[in-house]
Structure 1
């Protein structure tokens, strides 16, 4: 068993091919619930690998994965790394933003995983506290007013843009559910262009209809 640190552009299928194992074996060994989403910077345990590979990126653009896609090119058929694919109007992703995105995912996995617990504000507040040591109170549609302005700045961008950048705080005034119409919703972007995290990992935030009053906040700590 050896360890490999995931790099931006890696996919599980390309890594499985490189280390002569399978996607399912890597996912099972590392408790990866969604093989289509892995995160740069995290350590991946490689079953049955003798440790002879230096685990350094190949020169000249990286090794080829299935279908000929470079490891740094985000090969299809195995999932892309959960790292920023764009910067949007908020500017480049900062270390603080990346830190919040990781704290958000950890909070979500520690609470509901991929199933909502109806505690979105708790998950976001926990992530902010773990990342920056700041406790933010309130429910989904109150957090926006309680974010400390010396640490967060509101930015003007669409949901589609925001989801391409990690570590942004999203708040909605209302959602289509009964409780959501009262308490709203809040989440943190992962940067993969699709998902966000709160008390659970929402795989397709763009596809979640019936939400209104979106606000986007960028960490400035």
Structure 2
């Protein structure tokens, strides 16, 4: 069994195709509970291989690994959020981009008090369906065949693009009634809804956080 050091932008499905194995085999060999989230910099054990696949400084691999694309049709996604400590899926990246576009089309960097509208608009533009409800209701209305709840600290979630955040309450008068919701951009700091919030981690007075990941 060989080791591969996970790089930013890698996905388990792409690596499975690259090393002629399966996602389930990789997940089983590495005790990965959520195959959609892997951590850059961690060593991944490759079952059935005896060579080394640690990335060289030039961006390729050394040992017996390939240096370009992937085998079996797999693809390592780049683009927005490629520096996140996990392999964001194309759907997650699509939602992050749609969220930023919705925010810029509504409030820019200034809140309009319409966070759920911004998130719903982003989901509709990314995936073609609408999710109703205010900030503390939208989590119950996300279709469970298209989103699943994940457990992680907010600091880690903000490093991954395309996650839906919901809070039951915030410190503002309206937020104490309607909560708040946003989509992560993957830069480790900001999130988007009806506006771009530059420092979501520093926003105090919020409680009841839930995090959801698209599974499409």
TM-score, normalization by structure 2: 0.63
CA distance in 2, matches of 1:84, 1:200: 22
Question: How far is 1:82 from its partner?
Answer: 5.2
Question: How far is 1:123 from its partner?
Answer: 0.1
Question: How far is 1:92 from its partner?
Answer: 1.9
Counterpart for residue 183 of structure 1: 178
CA distance in 2, matches of 1:92, 1:153: 16
Counterpart for residue 19 of structure 2: none
Question: How far is 1:182 from its partner?
Answer: 0.1
After TM superposition, the runs of 4+ consecutive aligned structure 1 residues lying more than 2 A away are 81-87
For the Cα contact (< 8 Å) 1:151–1:219, is it kept in 2?
A: yes
Q: Which runs of 5+ in 2 are unaligned?
A: 1-7, 9-57, 60-78
For the Cα contact (< 8 Å) 2:80–2:93, is it kept in 1?
A: no
Closer, same or farther: CA 212–139 of 1 in aligned 2, 3 Å: same
CA distance in 2, matches of 1:82, 1:173: 28
1:144 matched to 2:152 = no
Counterpart for residue 5 of structure 1: none
Q: 1:204 aligns with which of 187, 199, 202?
A: 199
Q: 2:153 aligns with which of 155, 158, 180?
A: 158
CA distance in 1, matches of 2:82, 2:120: 22
State the aligned residue count.
Answer: 142
Closer, same or farther: CA 84–182 of 1 in aligned 2, 3 Å: farther
Task: Report the secondary structure of 2:130's partner residue.
Answer: coil
Write the deviation string for residues 94-126 of structure 1: whole angstroms up to 9, x where unpaired. Answer: 000000000000000000000000000000000
Question: How far is 1:198 from its partner?
Answer: 0.1
Q: Which runs of 5+ in 1 are unaligned?
A: 1-7, 9-59, 62-80
CA distance in 1, matches of 2:101, 2:120: 12
Q: Give the alignment of 1:5-84 within 5 angstroms.
A: 83-84=81-82
Counterpart for residue 87 of structure 2: 92
Write the deviation string for residues 31-84 of structure 1: whole angstroms up to 9, x where unpaired. Answer: xxxxxxxxxxxxxxxxxxxxxxxxxxxxx57xxxxxxxxxxxxxxxxxxx9524
1:112 matched to 2:110 = no
Q: 2:96 aligns with which of 90, 101, 107?
A: 101
Q: 1:171 aligns with which of 166, 184, 193?
A: 166
TM-score, normalization by structure 1: 0.62
Write the deviation string for residues 155-214 of structure 1: whole angstroms up to 9, x where unpaired. Answer: 001100100000000000000000000000000000000000000000000010000000
Question: How far is 1:154 from its partner?
Answer: 0.2
Question: How far is 1:134 from its partner?
Answer: 1.2
Q: CA RMSD in A?
A: 1.8
